[in-house]
Homo-oligomer: A and B are copies of this chain.
Amino acid sequence: MIRASIMGGSGYSGGELLRLLIAHPEIEVVQVSSRSHLGEYVYQVHPNLRKQTQLKFSDPDAMQPVDLLFLALPHGTTQHKIDQFAGLASRIIDLSADFRLHDPKDYQHWYGSPHAAPGWLPKFVYGLPELHRDDLRNAHYASGVGCNATASNLALLPLVKAGLLESGQPVIIELKVGSSEGGAEGNPGTHHPERSGVVRTFSAFGHRHTAEVIQELGLSKVTLTMTSVELVRGVLATAHATVKAGVTSKDLWKAYRATAADNPFVRIVKEQRGIYRVPEPKVLAGSNYADLGFELDEASGQVVSICAIDNLMKGASGTAVQCMNLMLGFDETLGLEFPGLHPI
């Protein structure tokens, strides 16, 4: 059994990690920290875990050495303590945004302040197995992924990998997101009577996850436009791009099928009948799948590529466990078998 701990267990991605690790056949969870809920049973915060574990939240300043440490702390925290954390475990997976970007200049540009540990940036593999599976197999340090970046990157992955996109053309990605994306801390705008039923385009340009799409796909003119909708879990990315002249639907089918064949958690959803013809996040709640679909207007070369994920699973904790499986030599899908629910 591998001994693992979680720093930051009272938030949403920390709680989801805990759910996955408790049930994982090869992992023993040693400690889960939370300063604000210190001493409480984890099931008092995450009520789904009652009768699943008797763990209590630990003091973050009293963590024991383990084989693997998950960091689920607020953005901007781990870069200041990474040396300390590295002393606790030889393998680290950091779900925050601190080690996703390789270039300190990019970090400063998108996050507005210089990175506190730039020397650590090259040690981290960007933790999306669909892009870096082989690197992750040998990695000791993996970053997490932005949930919106992940939906965007996977929506475009088949097109980029097969070289079908017309270069230099703008890519506009419309993301529709649920309320859990904002984390477990509330604010006046997340008060239920205000947040309920919204369709709110809260960020037209400049979302930080854009940086991860640019870095990972090598695209230049990328816009992420964010709209909150009535949903707790889930992201839908609807990406508008332009394919090279002459590219056909057949070419796209081939590209998407290849991506689905290469990646156990990628599925194509493109049906001619029934209710579920296109990717949708709601049936993915709790699942690590990324569902992809597309439509091509052959006349104009405009393509709409769609990706649905659960932001807390494929967009955060599920992908982190998938990285862990690769880093530790387990089957990539171990402990990630829950397929989601229908109806829900």
Contacts and interface: CB of A to CB of B under 8 A. Distances in A.
A287 interface: yes
B193 A12 contact: yes
Contacts of A227: 174, 176, 236, 238
A49 interface: yes
Nearest to A299: B205
A1 interface: no
Interface in A8-66: 12, 15-16, 19, 23, 40, 44-52
A186 B19 CA distance: 28
Interface residues of A, number: 93
Given A45-B274, A50-B269, A304-B205, A199 B281 contact: yes
B179 A176 contact: no
Contacts of A195: 192
A267 B341 CA distance: 22
Contacts of A50: 267, 269, 289, 291
A193 B179 contact: yes
Given A46-B342, A50-B291, A192-B195, 15 more contacts: A12-B193, A45-B274, A48-B283, A51-B339, A52-B339, A174-B225, A184-B343, A191-B192, A194-B275, A197-B344, A198-B282, A199-B280, A202-B277, A204-B306, A205-B304
18 contacts: A44-B276, A45-B274, A46-B342, A48-B284, A49-B339, A49-B342, A50-B291, A51-B264, A188-B275, A191-B191, A193-B232, A196-B232, A199-B281, A201-B236, A201-B238, A202-B277, A240-B240, A285-B344
Interface of A: 12, 15-16, 19, 23, 40, 44-52, 170, 172, 174, 176, 178-180, 184-202, 204-205, 221, 223, 225, 227, 229-234, 236, 238, 240, 264, 267, 269, 271, 273-287, 289, 291, 293, 295, 297, 300, 302, 304, 306, 308, 337-344
Closest 6 CB pairs of A and B: A186-B191, A204-B295, A193-B343, A47-B276, A204-B304, A230-B230
